[in-house]
Amino acid sequence: MRRSILVFTVTCGTLVAPMSVSAQWLPARRLVADTIVLRDSVATFGPTAPVSKPVSAASAMGAKARARIDSVVAMARAQLDKRYRFGGETPKGFDCSGLVRYVMAALDVSLPRTAREQARIGEAIPMDTAQLRPGDLLLFGRKGRVTHIGIYVGGGRMVHASTKAHRVVERPLLRKPAPGIVPWIGARRLLATTDSLTVSPRRDSLPNGG
Clarify whether residues 105 and 187 are in a common domain: yes
Buried b or exposed e, range 167-178, using 16+ CB within 10 angstroms = bbbbeebeeeee
Residue 87 belongs to some domain of the structure: yes
DSSP run (H or E) holding 69: helix 63-78
Strands 20-27 and 4-11, by their bridges, are antiparallel
Same domain, 193 and 113: yes
- The amino acid sitting at 57 is A
Q: Are 135 and 69 in contact (CB under 8 A)?
A: yes
In this structure, the answer to whether residues 70 and 120 fall within a common structural domain is yes
Q: Are residues 94 and 149 in the same domain?
A: yes
d(CA 146, CA 105): 21
Q: Is residue 50 part of a domain?
A: no
For residues 54 and 176, what is the distance between their CA atoms, to the nearest angstrom?
34
Q: Residue 106 domain-assigned?
A: yes
Alpha carbon 5 to its chain's center: 54
Say yes or no: 155 and 74 in one domain: yes
The pLDDT, as a whole number, for residue 139 is: 98
d(CA 168, CA 16) in angstroms, rounded, equals 45
Residue 55 counted as domain residue: no
Confidence (pLDDT) at 45: 44
Claim to verify: residue 85 and residue 164 sit in the same structural domain: yes
Q: pLDDT digit of tens for each residue in the chain (210 aa)?
A: 555 555 545 454 444 444 444 555 545 454 444 444 444 444 444 555 555 555 444 455 688 888 889 999 999 999 999 999 999 999 999 999 999 999 999 988 999 999 999 999 999 999 999 999 999 999 999 988 999 999 999 999 999 999 999 999 999 999 877 777 889 999 999 987 655 444 555 555 444 433
Whether residues 84 and 167 fall in one domain: yes
Q: Which domain holds residue 34?
A: 4-44
**CATH assignment at residue 71:** 3.90.1720.10
Is 135 within a domain? yes
Q: Is residue 108 part of a domain?
A: yes
DSSP string, 5-67: EEEEEEE---TTSPPEEEEEEEEGGG--TTEEE-SS-EEE----PPPPPP--HHHHS-HHHHH
Q: Is residue 54 in a domain? A: no
The pTM of the whole model exceeds 0.75? no
pLDDT score, position 34? 46
Number of domains in the chain: 2
**pLDDT value, residue 143:** 85
**Same-domain check for residues 100 and 194:** yes
Residue 16 inside a domain? The answer is yes
